[in-house]
Amino acid sequence: DVLASSAEPNNVSFGAAVPASDFPIIEQLKKSFANLVRTEKFLGIGYDSGKGCPQLRKQLARRASDAGMLVSPDEIIITAGCQGAIVLCLRSLCEKGDVVAVESPGYYGLLQLIESLGLKALEIPSDPVRGMSIDALQLAVEQWPVKVVLSVPSYSNPMGALMPETAKLKLAKLLEKYDLPMIEDDIYGELSYSDARPKAVKSYDKGGRILLCSSVSKVLDPQLCVGWVMPGRYREKIEYQRFLSNSSHFALPQLAVADILSRGRFDRHLRHAREVYSQRRDRLLDLIALHFPKETRITKPQGGFVAWIQLPDGVDSTEFYHLAKAEGVIVAPGEIFSTDSSKYHNYIRLSYAHEWTREREQAVVILGNILKAELSRFT
């Protein structure tokens, strides 16, 4: 319902985590497509190699060093988005009934995926600034038969938390000690508001136990449906699962992404996006301070474009979601970010990627008024 309502053109949506649509890179992508259609052979080429387009894998291998990873193009497999990469990892590593440790609150898409594969999610408490608690994870691993860890260490969804370097190193050591694989979802890693992007946990991985998954859905456009996995020691299993799920992936979007990545324009785009998203975050914080009740608390993400908001006590965020939707404003209610629907019942996630038009600013005023009316019912 959140996604369908977000896509409804008459609504103002803060509900879905989609990137901004007002960046020049979109026009550049269209030009790349037009050029490639004229010059490249992308039909009549049969099935792909089983790994995806070599030009794209070469570019991704080159960029991996920014996150502290040394991987060759041969160690990268192109997938249908980041979600597509994570499905392949879970299918390769788990059997029905296995336990997957995930951060809490966590992205609902991953929780639903775990459920749909017949796996069990074990929620590990996470801090709004530092991300998943490594101490809590250690306790969980000692008590439960955890098969795999699934985490978004750099700018998590929904909190926007960034796990510090020391914790990333500690996590890599813990995985080594317990011989545990981890799926590292790095989809927001490039969207750091500081100059350098954070290192991946995989950069500390000595034994090839970390499968890093990502996509261009947040940095370019989810329509491209271009993702990848750097599977470490699980390469053969992932290639087999990829073959089982789609034996080919359309080459044209992969070639367009490779083209964009091969030029300085992608780095220019990233510098622009990072600056604009940090300004849009600041505007959100100002608007919340102005229009929401004073008991409201909000995270201050240092990257990505989602913020996690604690509403005043007594407000139920699912009820709030429906009241806001009736006024044409869409938020993501807290309950969808956990397997326990009561856990985050007074939280919401707001996505702030889009430009602050008058209409969007007015929508925040509407949200604030609904909250104040709800609060006045209790006092």
Ligand X SMILES: Cc1ncc(COP(=O)(O)O)c(C=O)c1O
- Give the binding site for ligand X (CB under 6 A): 17, 81-84, 107, 109, 152, 157, 185, 187, 215, 217, 222, 227
Q: Given the DSSP bridges, would you call strands 210-215 and 182-185 parallel, antiparallel or unpaired?
A: parallel
* For ligand X, the closer CB: 292 or 308: 308
Residue 105 beta carbon to ligand X: minimum distance, rounded to whole angstroms: 11
Closest CA to 211 of 76, 36, 61, 356: 76
| Rounded CA separation 294/368 (Å) | 10
Residue 110 beta carbon to ligand X: minimum distance, rounded to whole angstroms: 6
- Two structure tokens written together for 184: 């590292």
| Rounded CA separation 278/304 (Å) | 9
Cβ-proximal residue to ligand X, closest one: 81
* For ligand X, the closer CB: 92 or 157: 157
Residue 306 beta carbon to ligand X: minimum distance, rounded to whole angstroms: 8
| Rounded CA separation 133/123 (Å) | 11
* For ligand X, the closer CB: 147 or 349: 349
Residue 234 beta carbon to ligand X: minimum distance, rounded to whole angstroms: 19
* For ligand X, the closer CB: 205 or 221: 221
End-to-end CA distance of the chain: 31
* For ligand X, the closer CB: 185 or 259: 185
| Rounded CA separation 239/234 (Å) | 9
* For ligand X, the closer CB: 25 or 370: 25
Burial of 43 (0-12, 13-18, 19+ CB in 10 A): exposed
Distances, alpha carbon 125 to alpha carbons 93, 106, 133, 238, in Å: 23, 10, 6, 29
Residue 202 beta carbon to ligand X: minimum distance, rounded to whole angstroms: 16
Estimate to the nearest angstrom the gap between the alpha carbon of 198 and the chain centroid. 15
Residue 223 beta carbon to ligand X: minimum distance, rounded to whole angstroms: 10
* For ligand X, the closer CB: 109 or 328: 109
Contacts of 184 (CB under 8 A, 6+ apart): 151, 153, 200, 201, 202, 210, 211, 212, 213
Residue 261 beta carbon to ligand X: minimum distance, rounded to whole angstroms: 16
